[in-house]
C-alpha cells in the first residue's frame, strides 16, 4: 500500500528555478483498515445497513460463483475462466454505484459487476462455456459483453458516452479496465477524447498489480495509475480497492459528476489478484506464495465482514444464511447452464449480418449438412 502521506512524483531533475505553470495531485481514498476498523468518517450511504449488507452479499455471491466456475472448468465443463478473487470490492463497489440505465463496459474479469447488474449466472457460464448465446442476456440490455482484447472497449465507452451527451440523456458509461490495460494506446486515445468533450464516462482501473505475469513496475513507471488521467486533462483518484466503501464512494462521486455534465474521471482501485490470472495460468511460476499470502490479509470480503461484526451487530446466523443462499443460487444456475440446449452449427450464420446475404446461403447449408453427415 502506498503510504498515505508520501508525496511522490516530484520532478527532481527539473530546474527548480523555472516557474511552475501547472500542478497536479493524486489523492487516495480509504475508509477501512484491513481489519475493518475505520480510518475516517464513512460516506453517507454506509449508514444504510441494508445496502451495506447487499454489497456484502454481492461480493459473497461473486466468490461462490467463481469457486464453482473454476470447479466446472477443472472438470471440463467450462472453458478458460478468470475469477475476481480478492477483487470483489472493485466490481461490486462500482456496479452498485451505477443506475440501471447506465451502461457498463466490462473486461473479462468483471463477472461480479455483471452479476450485480442482473446478468444471470447461467448466461455468464454459457459465455465462458464457449457459447455466444451467453452474451445475449436478458439483463441490462445495453451493457456491453465481456471485452477480451484488453482496453479495446475504452473507445466504445467514449462512443456510448457521446451518444448520451448528444441525446441529452442523464446516463453514464462505466468502463472497467485492468492495470495492464492502462498501457494500451486505445485507452489513452479514449480518455483524451473523453476529456475534450467532457463526456459522461468513468474509467475504473482494477489495479490488481499483475497483468498475467507482468507486475506493475514492468508495466509502467507511473507512480500511480490515477495519474494517467492527467495526460487527458481530467482527474484521477486512487482508492483502496479492497475497501468497498472507498470504491463505492469514489464511483458514486465520479458517476454523479459525469451525470451532472462535469466530465470524465479515472478511478484507480488498488487491490490484488489473489488467484491465478485465469484457469489457464499458473501464477506460482512467477510470483512467490508469500506475496499472495500477505495480500490475503487485505481480503475485501473479510474486511467488510470485520466491519459488519464490529459496527453492525453482524451475526453468525446472518453470515451463514447469506453463504448458503449464494451457494444455492449458484448451484441452481449451474444446473440450468448444464441443461442449455446445444447450439446448431449453422447458427453461426444467424447473427453475422441483420439479414444473411444470399451469397452465404450455400455455406450455411453446408454447415447444416455437415452436422447431419
Q: Which residues are near a second copy by CB under 8 A?
A: 2-11, 13-15, 17-29, 40, 183-189, 192-193, 195-196, 198, 217-224, 226-228, 230-235, 237-238, 253, 257, 262-263, 265
Is there binding between residue 178 and ligand TPP (CB under 6 A)?
A: yes
Site string for Mg ion, 138-177 (x = CB under 5 A): ----------------------------------------
Is there binding between residue 146 and ligand TPP (CB under 6 A)?
A: no
Contact region for other proteins (CB under 8 A) — 56-64, 179-187, 306-314, 323-331? Answer: 179-187
Contact region for other proteins (CB under 8 A) — 15-23, 25-33, 121-129, 322-330? Answer: 121-129
Task: Give the one entry of ligand TPP, Mg ion, a second copy, none that residue 277 binds, where binding means its C-beta sits below a cut-off of 5 to 8 angstroms depending on kind.
Answer: ligand TPP
Is there binding between residue 123 and Mg ion (CB under 5 A)?
A: no
Of residues 187 through 216, those in contact with other proteins by CB under 8 A are 189-190, 192-193, 196, 211-214
Is there binding between residue 77 and other proteins (CB under 8 A)?
A: no
Catalytic position from the list 40, 49, 286, 343 = 286
Catalytic position from the list 28, 248, 277, 303 = 277
Q: Which of 34, 58, 86, 178 binds Mg ion (CB under 5 A)?
A: 178
Kindly state the DSSP code that residue 146 receives in the 8-state scheme. P
Confirm if 160 and 105 have CB atoms less than 8 A apart: yes
Q: 3-class DSSP state for residue 210? A: strand
Task: Give the one entry of a second copy, ligand TPP, other proteins, none that residue 260 binds, where binding means its C-beta sits below a cut-off of 5 to 8 angstroms depending on kind.
Answer: none
Is there binding between residue 276 and Mg ion (CB under 5 A)?
A: no
Catalytic position from the list 29, 273, 295, 303 = 273
Is there binding between residue 223 and other proteins (CB under 8 A)?
A: no
Is there binding between residue 208 and ligand TPP (CB under 6 A)?
A: yes
Of all residues in this chain, which one has the CB nearest to ligand TPP in the complex? 178
Q: Which of 3, 19, 47, 185 binds other proteins (CB under 8 A)?
A: 185
Comparison of 310 and 363: residue with beta carbon closer to other proteins? 363
Q: Is 31 a catalytic residue?
A: no
Q: Cβ neighbours of residue 51 under 8 Å, at least 6 residues apart?
A: 45, 96
Is there binding between residue 372 and other proteins (CB under 8 A)?
A: no
Q: Cβ neighbours of residue 276 under 8 Å, at least 6 residues apart?
A: 282, 283
- For 44-52, the CB contacts below 8 A with 24+ separation are 45/248, 45/249, 45/252, 46/245, 49/312, 51/96, 52/304, 52/307, 52/308, 52/312
Task: Give the one entry of a second copy, Mg ion, ligand TPP, none that residue 235 binds, where binding means its C-beta sits below a cut-off of 5 to 8 angstroms depending on kind.
Answer: a second copy
Q: How far apart are CA 40 and CA 42, in angstroms?
A: 6
Is there binding between residue 210 and ligand TPP (CB under 6 A)?
A: yes
Q: What is the DSSP string of 265-296?
A: EEEEEE----S-SSTT--GGGTS-HHHHHHHH
Phi-psi region of 261 (alpha: psi -120 to 50; beta: other; left: phi over 0): left
Comparison of 170 and 196: residue with beta carbon closer to a second copy? 196
Partners of 137 in the beta sheet? none
Q: Is 166 a catalytic residue?
A: no
Contact region for ligand TPP (CB under 6 A) — 45-53, 137-145, 207-215, 290-298? Answer: 207-215
Instruction: State the pairing for strand pair 235-240/210-211.
Output: unpaired
State the burial class of residue 340 (Cβ atoms within 10 Å of its Cβ: 0-12, 13-18, 19+).
Answer: middle
Q: How far apart are CA 24 and CA 2, in angstroms?
A: 18
Comparison of 47 and 76: residue with beta carbon closer to other proteins? 76
Q: How is residue 276 written as a grid cell?
A: 491465478
Confirm if 136 and 147 have CB atoms less than 8 A apart: no
Q: Is 287 a catalytic residue?
A: no
Backbone angles phi, psi at 202, to 5 degrees: -120, 125
Cα dist from 336 to 60, 225, 328, 341, whole Å: 21, 40, 13, 10
Q: Cβ neighbours of residue 307 under 8 Å, at least 6 residues apart?
A: 32, 36, 37, 38, 52
Binding site for ligand TPP (CB under 6 A): 109, 148-150, 178-181, 206, 208, 210-212, 273, 277
Catalytic residues: 273, 277, 286
Amino acid at each position: 500500500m502506498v503510504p498515505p502521506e508520501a508525496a511522490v512524483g516530484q520532478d527532481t531533475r527539473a530546474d527548480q528555478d523555472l516557474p511552475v505553470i501547472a500542478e497536479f495531485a493524486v489523492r487516495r481514498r480509504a475508509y477501512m483498515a484491513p481489519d475493518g476498523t475505520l480510518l475516517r468518517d464513512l460516506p453517507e450511504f454506509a449508514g444504510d445497513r441494508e445496502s451495506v449488507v447487499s454489497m456484502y452479499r454481492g461480493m459473497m455471491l461473486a466468490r461462490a460463483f467463481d469457486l464453482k466456475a473454476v470447479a466446472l472448468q477443472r472438470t471440463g465443463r467450462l472453458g478458460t475462466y478468470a475469477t475476481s478473487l480478492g477483487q470483489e470490492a472493485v466490481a461490486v463497489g462500482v456496479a452498485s454505484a451505477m443506475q440501471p440505465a447506465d451502461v457498463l463496459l466490462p473486461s473479462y474479469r468483471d463477472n461480479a459487476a455483471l452479476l450485480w447488474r442482473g446478468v444471470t449466472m447461467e448466461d455468464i457460464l454459457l459465455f465462458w462455456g464457449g457459447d455466444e448465446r451467453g452474451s445475449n442476456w436478458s439483463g441490462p440490455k445495453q451493457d456491453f459483453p465481456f471485452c477480451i482484447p484488453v482496453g479495446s472497449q475504452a473507445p466504445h465507452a467514449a462512443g456510448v458516452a457521446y451518444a448520451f451527451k448528444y441525446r441529452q440523456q442523464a446516463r453514464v458509461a462505466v468502463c472497467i479496465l485492468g492495470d495492464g490495460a492502462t498501457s494500451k494506446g486505445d485507452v489513452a486515445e479514449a480518455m483524451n477524447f473523453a476529456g475534450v468533450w467532457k463526456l459522461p464516462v468513468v474509467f475504473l482501473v482494477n489495479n490488481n498489480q499483475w497483468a498475467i505475469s507482468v507486475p506493475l513496475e514492468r508495466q509502467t513507471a507511473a507512480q500511480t495509475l490515477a495519474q494517467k488521467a492527467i495526460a487527458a486533462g481530467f482527474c484521477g483518484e486512487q482508492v483502496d480497492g479492497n475497501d468497498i466503501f472507498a470504491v463505492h464512494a469514489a464511483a458514486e462521486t465520479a458517476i454523479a459528476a459525469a451525470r451532472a455534465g462535469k466530465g470524465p474521471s479515472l478511478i484507480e482501485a488498488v487491490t490484488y489478484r489473489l488467484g491465478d490470472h485465469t484457469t489457464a495460468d499458473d501464477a506460482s511460476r512467477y510470483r512467490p506464495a508469500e506475496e499472495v499470502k500477505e495480500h490475503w490479509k487485505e481480503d475485501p470480503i473479510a474486511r467488510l465482514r470485520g466491519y459488519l461484526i464490529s459496527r453492525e451487530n453482524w451475526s453468525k446466523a446472518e453470515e451463514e444464511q447469506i453463504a448458503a443462499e449464494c451457494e444455492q443460487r449458484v448451484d441452481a444456475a449451474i444446473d440450468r447452464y448444464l441443461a442449455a440446449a446445444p447450439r446448431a452449427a449453422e447458427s453461426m450464420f444467424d447473427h453475422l449480418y441483420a439479414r444473411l446475404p444470399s451469397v452465404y446461403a450455400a455455406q450455411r447449408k453446408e454447415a447444416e449438412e455437415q452436422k447431419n453427415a
